[in-house]
């Protein structure tokens, strides 16, 4: 599924393209310098209106280049820009309205296109606005964080947050294309890069033991931002996410495997307050280890496997301990409230060791508590 198109583009890092099987298949392009490739950016365009949505950190770095490349490729385009503030607190219905207003001001027609230039916050917000404007116009994802390249830009989930919870208002809306310029990762704060690597490790843990070992062998190059290594890790992660979401687009089954580490992780994020403490990727790192230990306690993965995962996370500079001050009982209470908890009780993605995971309903709460108590 991976075509090496480097020779045709003249890019310094070979361009990789994979195609996601979906109702309307779409390409994911990965390579350094792609934001300057006007022909590639304009390829999915069907009409004459393009709205670039970005945030206050990313726009000063990359929006001029994207706009210039698009203009050069399509001089007749009507292009507008819409910026939001940076951070999760901006993924709101108010900012959704702002994007809608910008589309109205542009006079975007049904063949218009939204370009989401940024991390998962911009991608989710702009994607939801594109899903709603005239009942759905095209969205092209231009992810600039590792997390958005390997996770949020692929699969078609879009949403905003409301005070009652994260991602509670949204839609499934698959992109027309994903264009991941790995050179943008050079300006990403190192902590954000590591958070994205936690989700990369997740793919290895749940479905690809070989990838997990490859990550282990190349952790140093990945942490220093080596373009070719990162492109490889992104391509492999996207292939896994694409394959799983193609088989189960609406999360009726297998797609839930992507939540490995997330039940514990979400509880940690919610209990500490989203604005401080561990970020999402870090909470998922801790959550994966807790899920691995719970699996070992229940006789699935071995304790040796769990320990190996801990060592790997540590090599990637990721946290492995529950932050001090978070009570096991309080975390358990949060998990009971998790929107993924079904009538059948606590549901976890449990681990069978490198490359294999399963969905388990009705997990015994006392086993969960015991794992949390040991991790304090």
71 class by beta-carbon count within 10 Å (0-12 exposed, 13-18 middle, 19+ buried): middle
DSSP 299: T
Smallest gap from Cβ 160 to ligand NAD, in A, equals 9
Q: Per CB under 6 A, does 95 bind ligand NAD?
A: no
Which DSSP state fits 187? G
**CB-based burial, 74-109: b 16+ in 10 Å, e otherwise:** beebebbbbbbebebebbbeebbebbbebbeebebe
Distance in Å, CB of 292 to ligand NAD, minimum: 21
Query: Which residue number, 143 or 353, has a Cβ lying nearer to ligand NAD?
Result: 143
Annotation says 251 is catalytic: yes
- Encoded tokens for 245: 């979401």
Q: How far are the Cα atoms of 65, 144, 255, 319 from residue 61, in angstroms, in the given order?
A: 8, 11, 34, 30
From 57, 95, 259, 279, the catalytic residue: 259
Q: Does 249 bind ligand NAD (CB under 6 A)?
A: no
When asked if residue 184 is in the footprint of ligand NAD (CB under 6 A), the reply is yes
92 interacts with ligand NAD by CB under 6 A: no
Residue 144 near ligand NAD by CB under 6 A: yes
x/- mask, ligand NAD, residues 189-228, rule CB under 6 A, reads: ---x------------------------------------
Per rule CB under 6 A, is residue 187 in the interface with ligand NAD? yes
Helices (H), 298-364: 303-315, 328-337
- Give the DSSP per-residue string, 84-138: E-SSGGG-SHHHHHHHHHHHHHHT--TT-EEEEEESHHHHHHHHHHHHHGGG--E
From the list 194, 262, 293, 310, the catalytic residue is 262
Residue numbers at the binding site for ligand NAD (CB under 6 A): 55, 57-58, 61, 86-88, 91, 118-122, 124, 144-145, 147-148, 151-152, 155, 157, 166-167, 184, 187-188, 192
- The residues annotated with a catalytic role in the active site are 135, 157, 199, 241, 251, 255, 259, 262, 266, 280
């Amino acid at each position: 599924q991976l075509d090496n198109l480097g020779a045709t583009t003249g890019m310094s890092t070979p361009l990789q393209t994979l195609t996601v099987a979906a109702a309307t298949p779409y390409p994911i392009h990965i390579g350094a310098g792609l934001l300057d490739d006007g022909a590639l950016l304009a390829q999915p365009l069907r009409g004459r209106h393009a709205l670039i949505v970005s945030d206050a950190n990313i726009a000063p770095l990359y929006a001029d280049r994207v706009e210039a490349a698009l203009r050069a490729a399509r001089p007749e385009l009507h292009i507008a820009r819409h910026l939001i503030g940076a951070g999760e607190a901006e993924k709101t219905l108010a900012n959704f309205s702002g994007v809608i207003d910008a589309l109205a001001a542009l006079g975007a027609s049904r063949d218009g296109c939204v370009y989401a230039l940024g991390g998962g916050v911009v991608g989710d917000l702009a994607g939801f606005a594109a899903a709603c404007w005239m009942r759905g116009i095209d969205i092209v994802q231009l992810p600039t964080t590792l997390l958005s390249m390997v996770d949020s830009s692929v699969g078609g989930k879009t949403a905003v947050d409301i005070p009652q919870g994260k991602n509670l208002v949204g839609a499934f809306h698959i992109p027309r294309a994903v264009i991941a310029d790995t050179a943008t990762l050079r300006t990403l704060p190192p902590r954000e890069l590591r958070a994205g690597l936690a989700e990369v490790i997740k793919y290895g843990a749940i479905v690809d033991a070989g990838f997990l070992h490859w990550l282990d062998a190349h952790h140093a190059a990945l942490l220093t931002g080596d373009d070719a290594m990162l492109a490889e890790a992104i391509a492999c992660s996207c292939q896994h996410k694409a394959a799983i979401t193609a088989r189960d687009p609406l999360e009726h089954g297998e797609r839930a495997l992507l939540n490995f580490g997330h039940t514990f992780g979400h509880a940690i994020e919610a209990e500490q307050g989203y604005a401080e403490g561990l970020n999402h990727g870090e909470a998922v790192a801790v959550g994966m280890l807790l899920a691995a230990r719970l699996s070992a306690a229940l006789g699935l993965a071995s304790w040796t496997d769990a320990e190996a995962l801990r060592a790997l996370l540590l090599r990637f500079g990721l946290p492995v301990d529950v932050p001090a001050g978070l009570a096991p009982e309080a975390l358990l209470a949060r998990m009971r409230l998790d929107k993924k908890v079904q009538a059948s009780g606590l549901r976890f993605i449990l681990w069978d060791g490198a490359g294999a995971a399963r969905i388990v309903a009705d997990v015994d709460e006392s086993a969960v508590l015991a794992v949390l108590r040991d991790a304090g």
